Every structure is written in structure tokens, then in C-alpha cells.
Structure 1
Amino acid sequence: MISRTAATLLFSTLAMQLNAAPLDEKKIQFIGPIPTYNSIKPNNTAYQSKIIESLLPSLQKQTKALTIFGNDLKWQRMADVDTLTMAGIQVLKFNFAANRFIQGKLSLNGIKKAQVFLNGELLSGKESYDIHATTGDHQLIIVAEQVDNWHVVKIDYTPNSEHDSIALHNNKPFSLSAKQLFDAPTISAIGLSPNGRFYITTERHYSDNSGNTPITETVLKDRNNKIIYRFDGVTADSITWRSDSKQLAYMQEQQLKVLNLENLTTNPITSALEGASGFEYFNDDTLIFSWSKRPSDSKSLVKHYQGLEDRWSYARTNSQIYLLDIRSGLINGLTEGNLSHYLQDHDAQRNTILVSRNPQDYQAPPHRLTELIEININDGKKIPIGAYRTFNQAQYTSDGLYVIAGPDFANGLGRVLPKGTLANNYDGQLYWLDRQGKNAKALSKTFDPAIGNMTVLKSDDVILYVSDKDTKQLYLFDESKSRFKHIKTNLDVVEDFAITHTNHADILVKGTLASAPQQLKRISLKNNNAKQLWNSKELAYQHTSIASLEEFNFTNRSGVEITGRVYLPHNLDKTKKYPALVYYYGGTSPVSRAFTGRYPFNLWAANGYVVYVLQPTGATGFGQAFSAKHVNAWGEYTAQDIIDGTKAFTQAYSFVDPKRMGNLGASYGGFMTMLLATKTDIFSASIAHAGISNITSYWGQGWWGFSYSGEASKNSFPWNNPTLYSQHSPVFHADKVQTPLLLIHGDADTNVPPGESHNMYTALKLLGKDVELIEYKGANHQILARDRRFQWWDTMLAYFDMHLKNQPQWWQHIYQK
């Protein structure tokens, strides 16, 4: 025990530390007075708050000066302000760093009226304001509207506890923030004219003012990046080009319009076409498109299911293919019937279209059948090409068809697996097929990347979009040489691409690197050279520190290399011990190297975590033998890879604290998190988002549970393989869980129903385990809206801070106010 005197001294010292302290005026910037055009001041108008709000973005910029109504104003130090009073409004601004979640109070002394913004958000208060800030760098702006004497103005900060200190600075670079990642400008859609002379982009960003609504702009530019035309309420991916590049068509407010590029005039073609989409030029005078009809709302007291697909909200929507004459506006149906038809390709010279449809057929996995049909438009004759269990896409060639499908296509024509091994048909392969469907060739047997989709060129060469390990890449399939060639985009993740129709095709491509934000490039296939047209880094990340990246691979127990990567925090001190987060998916796809996304690895590193992302057994993009291990495994190999990889990671990185390891995953990765909690205690905290706890209930209730299980549990059902469905389900082993577990789910999730998290939550609560459940109201399988996204990101980091940093304050602030 300590003495009364020592205790009194300790309390007095702590109380002194928590007293209000003036902030260093040398590190606070000042600008003012803000000039107005005439004698009317903002505080004399009815729109005072809006006036300040509109000025805020300019104040937030890291610039040395500001130009207002032709007047140049320079930022100066608050310490150098030597005046009693001044007209108009003045602004104070400072940056501060927090090395953990902090709480405190900001007091404005000598400022009678002000608006205070923390990271662009208006704080409530009058003379004092509550400050809550997460780990990282922050910006605080004070717009002073009434100051009688600047000589007495002081800005004080009072921490709530000894942990809540802040450090003012003007250092660059600044740490990466959640707002940057979500709000920064991105190119959301692109288009390229057939002759390559023009391209279209839709640029999107968010702001505090717009909230969950993105601010978008779609523009048409020439080769010199000069804006030729602006589209209102239209996205680049909904615009289609005529083959001569002199005209384009688009939907605007459900009305079809054409734009003439020679004189930039627009002409409406039709009245509202609700449900119409996918417009393409069939020829110079005709458009082909899909038109969907939803059934009228039923007022029936019951719903009689007509099949497993009827669980889908859109299952009874009927989609057919139509032709539209541009000059007259007349529309003609090309397909009809109870089954929806989907356009795969069209050939105006032969007057044919290639369509697919899905009759109800559950006889074999993946319990879905696709019929491929060619239709002659002249007489409506339908020529069946084939019916396939595994099918993704088909397009015409000069003498047949290219098809993308799984290894089992055409009686296993694409397989390169030992006899008896079940293929993973999510591992897309390329085939050639004659137009009668009788002869087929497997073209990608020696090509390990998983093929997602394709674009066929005039030469019969093909541009392929593939998963190549943990990257998304473009490859050219040279038809004459039957050879695959990598297209050098110098991007880790190609997000989208568009291609010219010229003999030497150019490609417009957008994408990111793991440690660099989005870029837009133009690439020449002739010489494989890339020209950068746009870069988000220059717009939103100029002064930002981004985590450094290292590759980390290990060899698993089967002798197979498991790839991974490690994100390191800024200003890493290798003499210290850091908490770490391990992320994986574990399902049939690798975790891509995208710069940002739903799970922001660079942001986690900015918050002081070493982040290890690995690609365990079963993922596509690493070859058929690797992906086939996903079938009928349900974590059997994946869990061991994650456990062994984590141990190898902590041994290789001595500055990682093995006693402060967190793990998380989503969907199948959420299943893996729950399963790992029943198998190992190497993690100190775990998060499962939208995870599967009971394979049987997911199989029977998830919208796509039966079809996904057709691959993941191929030929296995609860009645013929109950061991798989029970013993691989985490809830059946809930009594083995020792790790604190956070379950996150959208309460409107149709892919993995929220009951999957409720299963595990119920079990762990009854067992007295440390478990939390957070549901997002109205959210489906993903958290998309801006406000929810920020809260969700905060929730995950706050949970790990509580368990891995012994810092519960952030979690308590969110959930225990």
C-alpha cells in the first residue's frame, strides 16, 4: 500500500496534468479577415452557416495562401497576430496527432461566436467543444465570427484522462484517414470510342455535405484530354458507341437519346423505357438491348414457391432481347417465353444473336443449367448449341465461339487434375466451340490464372480479364499462335477496361496498386506501352503517408507455397513490439491487392497494426490443383494454412507481438474466423463478418447457398455426408472457443442470412464466452453506405484496440455511452 502523503501527491500530479492547457500558438495557423465583395457580412445574412460551409473545403486545403474575390490572403502563425479586432470573419487552423483514441474538451477563450470543424464535421458547442479523435492525424478549423480583442484569445485543450493528450504539428506527410479512402475522387466507369479518338469517364467522390450520395461527373474527352461534352445523370458504362465513332446512344432519365459527335447535338429516340438496359449498336441504324418486366406486386396472403430460385427477389422478373430502330423508334422483340434470355453476342452480318437461358434443373451440381442458343433474326429460328452445367460467357469468333466456363465444361475437357479429383468450376477456363456445339477445344489448360471475362477482337485474338494469384490482370490470347501474353498495365488490380476496334487495339484501363491509389491509363497493344491519363494520388494523397508493403510467402505442410503480403505502419520502430491483424478469405477467390475496399489494409496499418494478408489453399488464380482443394473441404486445409502462416509470420517479424494477434474475415472468411476460434488460441481477438456458422442452414436458406454449395460441397448433402455438414460447422464446436469474438452482420443479408451469426452468438452466450454481436439495420451482405462504412470501420478497429492495445475507450465511446 502507498502512504496517504504519496497518494495525495499522485492525485495532485494527475489533476495538474488534466487541467486545461493553452495550445501552442506557433503551431496554429491564422488567416483573415476574410474579405467580402461589399459591406454585407456573412453574419448579417440568413445563410451564414451555408456561407461558411461553402468556404470550408478551401480552408481545409494544405496551401500557404487563399484567393478570395481577387484578394490574396496568406496563412500566418497565430502567435504573429498583433491586432485588437478586425472586421468580417477570421479562421484558425491546426493539425494534431493522436497515438490512440482520445477524448477531451476544446475551449475558446476570447472568441464570442465561432463554428468549429473537426475533420470537416461541425462540432456542437458554444465556448467549449467535446473532442473525440481516433489514432492518426486530424485537422481542426475554427471560423471566428466575433472577437473583441485578439490579444486575449487563447485555445485550450483539456484531456479527459492522462491518455488523451494530443500533439500539434505541421508535419508532412500525414497519416492515411478513412475519409480519404472513401471520399477521394475515383473513376467509377469508363468508355472508349471504337476508333480510339475519344474516351468517357465518370468521376465520383463524396463529401460531408453530400453524405451518402456520391458527387459524379461524366465527360467525353478527346485524345488530348480536352473535354468535348458533359453528360448529366449518365454513367460512362451506360453509353454505347456506333462502329464509326460518330454517334453514341445513352439512357437519361429512362429516355433513350443519341449524341451526334460531328455537331454535338442530341436527339431523343423514345419515351421512358423503364427496365431497359445493356444498349449496344447492332448496326448503324439499330440498337439491341435487354428489357426486363417485373411482375405486379402481389397482394396474396401467401407465396407459392416455384423453385429454389424463387427465394431471389428478382426471380420472377422476365428479361428478353429487343431491337430498336433509331430513325423511327420502333421496337421489335427478338426473344420471348417464360424463361429470361440473356444476350451473349450478336452478328449483324449474319443477322444472328447468341443468347443464354436457364431452365430449372437441379439434377447435378452446381444445380443450375445454362442453354446456349443461336437465333436467326430473319426467321426467328432457334439453333440449340448446347446445355452446360458450368458456363460463364460466350462470344462469336470468325469461325465459331469462344466460351469461358469451368474445367468440367464439355465433359471435363478443361481438366488438368488427377482422376477422381473434383474440379472447382469457379476456376474459369477458355474454350473454342464450333457454332453447332459439336467440336470443342480447351485453350487454357496450361494457363494457371482464372479467367473471369473476355472481349474478342476483330483478329479473333481475345483480351482476357483474369485473377492471377492475388492480382487482377489483362492477358492477350493470340489465336494464331495459341499463346497467352501478359498485357503490362503496371497495376496490381485492373478494375475495368475498354478496347478500341482498330487493327492495332488500344486499351483504356483503370486500377490500383496495393500501395498506390487509382490510376487511369491508355495502353497500346502494338508496343505494350502505357500512358497515364489520371491519377488519384495527385488529387487526394499528395501529402499522405501510405504503408510500406513486403511480400511474405511460406511453404505449407503439403509442400505448396502459400503467398501473402505484409503492410507495415508508418515510422515503424523495429525495437518495439506491435499488435498485428491477420486477414484472409479462404473461399474460392484470393484477397486482391486493391489499394482500398471494404477491408482497408492500409488504414489498419496507419492505425499502428502490422497487417498480414494470406491466400490459403483453395483460391482460384493459382492453378486448378490449388483451387480444387476448396471442394468438400470447408476449412480443412485453409485453417491449417492460416494457423501455420500466422506462426511463420510472427517468427519472421520479430517486432510483432505474438500475444497481441487479431484475425478477421468476411463471408466464407467469417466462417473461417469462427472455425479458427474452435481450433486454435493463437489469436487474442477475432472478428467474423457475415460468417457461416452452420453449413446446413446456409445451404438451405442463403439465396445462393444451394448453388455455391454445388461447388464447395459437390455431391455432398446432409443426408449422404452429415459429417461434413456438422463437424465442419463452427457452431457444433462452440464449446472449444476461447478467443473473444465479435460477430458483425447486416440484418437484411440475403447471401449469408443473419441467423448464421445468431447461431454462434446464442451458443457462446449460453456457454458464458466473450462474444459481441453488432447488426447493421437494413444492410445486406456488404456495408456500402458512407455513414455505415465509417461506423463499421471504427467498430472493427475499436474492438481490436480494446483487446490488442488494452485501449477500451474507443469501443466504450461507440457502444457504452
Structure 2
Amino acid sequence: MILRTAATLLFSSIALQLNAAQLDEKKIQFLGPLTTYNSIKPNNTAHQSKIIQTLLPSLQSRVDSLSVFGNQLKWQKMSDIKALTMAGLQALKFQFNTKRFTQGKLSLAGIKTAHVFLNGEQLSGQSEFDIHVPTGDHQIVIIAEQVDNWNEVKINYTPKAEHDQITLTDKSQHGLSAKQLYDAPTLTAISHSPNGRYYLTTSRHYSDSTGNSPQTETLLKDSDGKTQYRFSGISASSVAWRDDSQQLAFMQDQKLILLNMKDFSTKVITQTLEGASGFHYFNDDTLIFTWSKNEDDAHKLIKHYRGLEDRWSYARSNSQVFLLDLNSSLINALTEGKLSHRLEDYNAHRNTILVSRNPQDYTAPPHMLTELLEINLSDSKQTLLGQYRTFRKASYAKDGIYLVAGPDFVGGLGRALPQDMLANNYDGQLYWMDLNGSNHKALSKKFDPSITTIDVLKSNDVLLKVNDEDRQQLYLFDRRKSRFKHIELGFDVVQDYAISHTRNNEILVTGTQASTPQQLKRITLKNNRAELLWDSKELAYQHTEIATLEEFDFTNQSGVKIKGRVYLPDGLDKTQKYPALVYYYGGTSPVSRAFSGRYPFNLWAAHGYIVYVLQPTGATGFGQTFSAEHVNAWGEHTAQDIIDGTKAFTQAYPFVDSARIGNLGASYGGFMTMLLATKTDMFSASIAHAGISNITSYWGQGWWGYLYSGEASKNSFPWNNPTLYSQHSPVFHADKITTPLLLLHGDADTNVPPGESHNMYTALKLLGKDVELIEYKGADHQILARDRRFHWWNTMLAYFDMHLKDQPQWWQFIYQK
């Protein structure tokens, strides 16, 4: 009797779950009839699918009406449709929301031919269509043909299980989606004419129809933003402007082309410059550029290593500097030899160039030597200005040379550290030296931000891009006053900038905020006034709900403030408990505050997670002492910061469920995830992407392993400090791990070889621990391709849904056994 009752209840429950429910026609929009220009219907042509795909974007948009061959049609409620049949096409669309990964079946009655699109992707089927969607807001568009009676048209939804419910909505805002973040238009490059009257932008966006192939466009605009010329197949970053702004040069299909700005006529200079790049006008009639040639591989069976650099695929490519005469097309080599030469800067008035090269020298950290030379082009005389271990960049000044290098430059000239601390030379500093290379001066010892790039202005002042704590900012160095001035841009992250050489020094800048997508602004340095020229929010995020951002800092055990930020989901109910994700890097740079990126914090918040991002000890941008803690630490301070920061975070945010916290990081952050798993069980699930499990094998096998270790493990090697290399390597403590761990890696990763994840996977499998390993085929250190990126993002969220929300269905759907 008990068994029969239980069986009856089970059968009733299954029947209830499988019952189809008709969707509310008041929340379904109708548009039609979409009559064609003549009597020929789309389904009578060979291009039916293309016709439907072309129409789709107009139907997806949130406009109230649509003009079709001169007829203005308004969207209306499906419940108001009274006609039996109509000519041409008709369209239906509705929005729905899901609170979790949801699976079900959409069924249509009364439509003989239907094209059904879910979030822009066409579903297969005739009258029934499988639905599977993650947490968030979604859109269905149905393009209908051959409807005999609209009164008989019904749209039903059947959930796969009781929890697979959808809620139709008609709200004007929708949650952020992965497609928005990846596909939205972005400016990938900009350029500014010297006179400030023109600028170029290269934009890129993706779509379902083009898949992994981006759609790009480079436009030449005047100062009012009006398009004057369109380029094909080039980037704004590769265009060279003549000083008078009357001509520009660019490479297209391996041809060097000149564009006359007076009449926009073009002239091909040469068609034989494969491997050439970095063009600049040396003077009005001459271009200076770098030309590279790959070494012919004579050996098909073996590779004989000539040094540690041979682990880099481009190590045997030889690059030299050349001049090209625009009148005769004659090319003249300025450098030669077995060592490649990089052009640092040039001075046409002095007829000299600055170049750098790297002779093989491993005698001291970071196990690379840079020689800086000045070459007089009149007699080809070379003057060795210096040999440096921490060199990054050199540029001419009026009375000398500006350089960017680490604190240890020229015997520690830039150090601002206690005597017993080893400097982190990823912490870029600004220097000046005379033209003979004999007199040096440190300019930024009291300037905490880490300098990455510089541009010398005609005033002899310097525009600097820096890591300023967890922001990327622009500063102006006033040479006369020896003072750094912050340029107010309204950006958390400056992505790209381009300078004009007008009296007011206008610059174009692209950037984002942590909660604001990309913008392009024009800034006048003289008065620090900004003008908005382009805004991706208006193009792709107009109706999007974005997470609320809060700053959250805490003081660590050493009394140092550790910066952080928290992303709160839209519509948060603080009376409820929410799962949380903790993200960090832990290496030599802070986690960017960019709106989007490989790790989409705003998207995670849209999926119902509270996201805490912190900047633990060791990163640049917070001063030399803070960054120097990274040296020879390998997580010693960083792990404690993450543990203590997470505790402080959960105390400050009582609506975070401390029993449902996940953590993740990549590269050095992946190393930190593995290391944390050996030190704490406070996390309920962990993800390490491209993480280091064994410091020794990374040092010996990673592309940058020995160079990076030259700072991170300065003066320490497996033979003189085996404790550092073993006891700080997570795989040596794998037996202490109790947290479920997902290891992600590209199987073509050269930076951190996939064997680093295999080490830990092997150890945890043998120990009987909860571990998963997923490799992305053909992917290097980053997951870049559109289809892989979506799968990768889904994998991470599905893993956390399984462990932090007790919702394994999404993971099971992706990785069905």
C-alpha cells in the first residue's frame, strides 16, 4: 500500500512537470503583415534563410514600430489579433526570465512554417523546439509563414523538470548577457593627426552570422566627427602621419600606400614589404620602419636550441631598422647583424636613431641584457649608451633621453625601498640621462604608480600611462617643475590614447569604468577639458541592468590597506542569502577595473553571484614596497590577504552565504587558487585556469618562466633554495586539498604549459579527491575565439552553479556522460 501510494505520487509529479502551459498572449508581441513588394514570397526563393536572417535584427530591436516597403507597422499584443489569415510574413516575439539554468520545450500550434530564434540563434525543429538557457533574460523571435487561422495559433512551453520554469516579462530593462559583452562594438585602435584636425578609429564587433570572425572598420574623421575616408583591412594603430598632416602612410595587403589628405587620392609606393611594420615619417620624404624576416628552417627532424630564448617561436626572426625614400622607393638598412634591433626613437634634426638589442647574457636576474645604442645616420657610427637589466623604453628629450626601467636601473638609482628588500623590477620608473649615457637621474622615486608607457611632448614634458593602484591612468610629468599631474578622464581604465602636437596638446583616449562600457573622449591637456565622441553604451547597453559597484578595502595583518571592490546583482534582496565569488590575480599587476574582459565580473553578478575582487600584496601601482613583497614570496603574503579579505568581506556583507563561496584565478591567479586549496577549506568550490602547480617545472618550461622567475624568485634557484621551489608549489601539498577543484587549460598554452594542470590533476586523482580537468583544444594562455569564450564562461558558471547553488543541471548539460 505504501509503495503503491509512493508510485502514484511519483507518476503524478512527473505528469505535472511535463504538462504544457500556454504562454500569456498579452505578453507576446505581434507584427504584421510583413508584406513583400510583390507576390513572390520568401519561401518561394532560393534565398529564404538569408532573407529571414537579414530581417531578424530589425525584429529583435526594442523599437515600437517598423517601416516595411513604405508601410509603418506597429507592434501589438498577440491577444489583440483578430484576423484569420494574412499575406506575407508575420512576426511574434516575447521576453522571458529564468532564475537558474532551465531546459524545456517550446511548441507551436497553427503555424505551418515557423523560424524560431532564441537570443538571435535559430532553433531546429518544425513545431517543437528545445530550449536550454542559463540564468537571465532571454528573447524569442518567431517569423511565421503559412498561418491559416490566427485564432488557432498557440505557443506552449513544457518544462523538462519542475524547476525549469520561465517567466514572461515586458520590462524595459534586461540583464547583462555574455553576447553583449563579447559582441558589442569596441574601438580597438585610434590615431590622431599632428594638427588635431583628423582622427582615425578602428571598430570591431561580432555577431552570430560571422561567428569567430570579427567585423572591423577603420574610419578617417574630421574634428567634427564626420567620416572622410574608409579603410579596408588596416588598423588605425598602423597608420603613419606626416608632420604637416597632409599625408599619411599605411600598409594594405603588403602594399605601402600614401593617402593625400587634400583630395584623398592614393599612391602605391611598393608591393614587396612582407614583414614590415612600425612605419613613421622620419621626415617629409622618408619613412622609418622595422622589417623582419624568419629564419629558414633547414632541419625538419630536430630543433637544436641555441639558448633559452629559443623556446619563443619568434626567437629566430631577425628584425632590423630601415629607411624608405618615398620619391624613389629606395630602401636603406640602418642596422644589421645577427641580433635583432628595435627602434626606440628617432631624431631627424640630429640625424640619429635610438635602438635596443638583446645579446645573450644570463649572468644576473632577470637573465636578459639590453643594450641601448645611438646610431648617427650620417656615418653609421654606433655609440653604446648603456647595458641594462631592467630596461623597457627610451625616448628622445630636448636635452637628453627619457627612459622607463625598474627600480634597479643603473645600480638601484630608482630604488625607494628599505635596504634589505629586493626590488620588483616590473614596477616601472621614469629616468632621464644625457645624450652620452653618462649622467642619469631618477624622476619618479616619490611617485607610487607604476609607469608602463611614455610619450615625450614638444614642450619636453612627458605623457605617461601608469598603473595607479587598480586603475590605468594618464599623468603628465612637468619637466620644469619636476612634478606629476593626474589627467582627469573619468575612466577607471585607459585602454588607448593618441596625441596631436597642437599648442593645446589634444589627445584622444578610449577607456572604461568598472560599471560603464567603453567610451572615446577628446581631452585638451591645457585645460583638462573632456569631450565625449563615442559611447558603446548607446550602441549596445541602452536597456541593460548593470551590477551595483561598491569599493571594499580592509587592513591586512601587516597593517597595509588592501584595496578591493564588490559587484552586487541588480535587484538584490538583502534579507536573503547569496552565493559569492572571490577573484584575484596575485602576480605583479592588479586586476583591471575594465568593464569587460576575460573574467566578466558584471556577468557573474547578473547570474546572481556577489563578486569580490581584491588586489593582494605584491602588485605594482601601490608603491615599490608593496610590489617588492612579491619577490621570493610565491603566495606567502598573497594567500593570507585573500583568506583575511574573504573573511572581512563576509562580515561586511551579511547577506553573503559564507557556506557558498567560490574562488578562482588565472595564470599566477591559478597558482594562487591551487595554493589556497592547500591552506584553507573556507571555499566550497575552486577554479584554476592555466595555473602553476610546480614552480620548478614552470621555471624550466614556460615561455617566460626563467625571465619571470628572475623577479619572482630573484637569486633563488632549485639548487640554492629548494625549499622555495618545493614547499611553495601546490602539488607538493596536494594531500591537504579538500575543496572541489576545476582545472582549466589551453592545450597549446606556451606561457604556462598544460602539464602544470596535469601535475595537480594526477595528484588529486590518485588521492581520490574531487577534481575536474578541462582542456581547450588549440587554445594558448588565453581563451580568445568567440565560440570557445562562450563555452569557457559557461563552464565556469555551470561549475559554480553545481557546487554553490546545488544546481548541477547546467554542468550535466555541457558535459553529458
TM bucket (normalised to shorter chain) is: over 0.9
SS of 1:586's partner is coil
| Structure 1 position 118 matched with structure 2 position 148 | no
Deviation at 1:8, TM superposition (A): 2.7
1:676 equivalent in structure 2: 676
- Per the alignment, residue 154 of structure 2 pairs with 154
Query: What's the counterpart of residue 748 of structure 1?
Result: 748
Partner SS, residue 787 of structure 1: helix
- Residue 225 of structure 2 aligns with which residue? 225
Percent identical among aligned pairs is 74
Query: What is the CA–CA distance in structure 1 between the aligned matches of 2:371 and 2:741, rounded to whole Å?
Result: 45
Q: Separation in 2 of the partners of 1:340 and 1:801? A: 50
Find the counterpart in structure 1 of residue 254 from structure 2.
254
Which residue does the alignment assign to 1:731? Answer: 731
Quote the residue 1:693 is aligned against.
Answer: 693
SS in 2 for 1:63: coil
User: Residue by residue, what CA displacement relative to the aligned partner does 1:700-746 show, whole Å, maximum 9, x if unpaired?
Assistant: 00011000000000000000000000000000000000000000000
Q: Equivalents in 2 of 1:558, 1:88: separation in Å?
A: 73
Aligned to 1:107: 107
Counterpart position of 2:8: 8
Q: How do residues 380-529 of structure 1 correspond to structure 2 at under 5 angstroms?
A: 380-529=380-529
Deviations 1:363-392 (A, max 9, x none): 000000000000001110001100000010
Deviation at 1:10, TM superposition (A): 6.0
Note the 1:177-576 alignment, pairs <5 A: 177-576=177-576
Residue ranges of structure 1 left out of the alignment (5+ in a row): none
Paired residues of 1:581 and 1:611 also in contact (CA < 8 A): yes
User: Within 2, Cα distance between the matches of 1:655 and 1:425?
Assistant: 41
Give TM-score, length-normalised by structure 1: 0.99
Counterparts of 2:37 and 2:3 in 1: how far apart (Å)? 67
Partner of 1:361, secondary structure, is: coil
Is 1:253–1:272's contact at 8 Å kept on the other side of the alignment?
no
Q: Distance in 2 between matches of 1:206 and 1:8?
A: 51
Question: Match of 1:76, as an amino acid?
Answer: Q
Q: How far has the Cα of 1:203 moved from its partner?
A: 1.1
2:174 corresponds in structure 1 to 174
Contact residue 291 and residue 321 of structure 1 kept, 8 A: yes
Match of 2:801 in 1: 801
Q: Does the aligned pair in 1 maintain the 2:17–2:160 contact within 8 Å?
A: no
- Aligned to 1:147, the other structure's residue is in SS state coil
C-alpha distance in 1, partners of 2:146/2:297?
A: 58
* Structure-1 separation of matches of 2:658 and 2:42: 57
> Is the Cα–Cα contact under 8 Å of residues 475 and 487 in structure 1 kept in the other structure?
yes
The equivalent residue for 2:781 is: 781
Which letter maps to 1:64? D
| Amino acid in the other structure paired with 2:397 | T
Q: Tell me how far apart the structure 1 counterparts of residues 233 and 700 of structure 2 sit (CA, whole Å).
A: 40
- The answer to which of 275-284 and 82-91 deviates more is 82-91
Asked if the contact 1:458–1:503 (Cα under 8 Å) also holds between the matched residues in 2, the reply is no
8 Å Cα contact 2:217-2:231 kept in structure 1: yes
Structure 1 counterpart of 2:123, which letter?
Answer: L
- Aligned-residue RMSD, C-alpha: 1.0
Aligned residue identity for 1:364: A
Give the Cα separation in 2 of the matches to 1:163 and 1:414.
61
How many residue pairs get aligned? The number is 817
SS of the residue corresponding to residue 392 of structure 1 reads strand
The CA deviation string for residues 543-583 of structure 1, in whole angstroms up to 9 with x for no partner, is 00000000000000000000000000010000000000000
Structure 2 CA distance for aligned equivalents of residues 226 and 35 of structure 1 = 36
Q: Does 1:595 align with 2:595?
A: yes
Instruction: Give the AA of the match of 2:214.
Output: P
Q: Which amino acid aligns with 1:44?
A: N
Letter in 2 for 1:126: Q
In structure 1, distance between residues paired with 2:86 and 2:337: 76
For 1:432 and 1:449, the matched residues in 2 are separated by 18
User: CA offset at residue 6 of structure 1?
Assistant: 6.5
In structure 2, list runs of 5 or more residues that go unmatched: none
Distance (whole Å) between structure 1 residues aligned to residue 653 and residue 424 of structure 2: 34
1:148 to partner: Cα distance? 1.4
The alignment partner of 1:111 has SS state of coil
Equivalents in 2 of 1:547, 1:760: separation in Å? 35
Give CA-to-partner distance per residue, 1:166-210, whole Å, 9 cap, x none. 001110210000000000011111000001001100111100001
Cα deviation digits, residues 228-275 of structure 1 (max 9, x gap): 111111111011100000100000111000100011101001013110
Aligned AA (1:92)? L
Question: Aligned equivalents of 1:104 and 1:300: distance in 2?
Answer: 54
Deviation at 1:437, TM superposition (A): 1.1
Q: Is the CA contact (8 Å cut-off) linking 2:414 and 2:445 kept in structure 1? A: yes
CA distance in 2, matches of 1:327, 1:231: 24
Letter in 2 for 1:23: L
* Mean Cα deviation higher: 591-600 or 69-78: 69-78
Q: Which amino acid aligns with 2:390?
A: T
Please give the alpha-carbon distance, in whole angstroms, between the structure 1 residues aligned to 2:474 and 2:305.
42
Q: Distance in 1 between matches of 2:581 and 2:226?
A: 45
- Comparing 26-35 with 444-453, which one deviates more in the overlay? 26-35
Query: SS at the partner of 1:204?
Result: strand
| Amino acid in the other structure paired with 2:703 | W
Which amino acid letter does the alignment assign opposite residue 649 of structure 1? F
Give 1:299 shift: 3.9
With normalisation by structure 2, the TM-score equals 0.99
Q: Which secondary structure does the structure 1 equivalent of 2:759 belong to?
A: helix
Cα distance in 2, alignment partners of residues 469 and 149 from structure 1: 65
Q: Classify the secondary structure of the residue corresponding to 1:251.
A: strand
Matches of 2:122 and 2:297 in 1, distance apart?
Answer: 43
Q: Distance in 2 between matches of 1:815 and 1:272?
A: 50
In structure 2, C-alpha distance between the alignment counterparts of 1:635 and 1:788, rounded to whole Å: 30
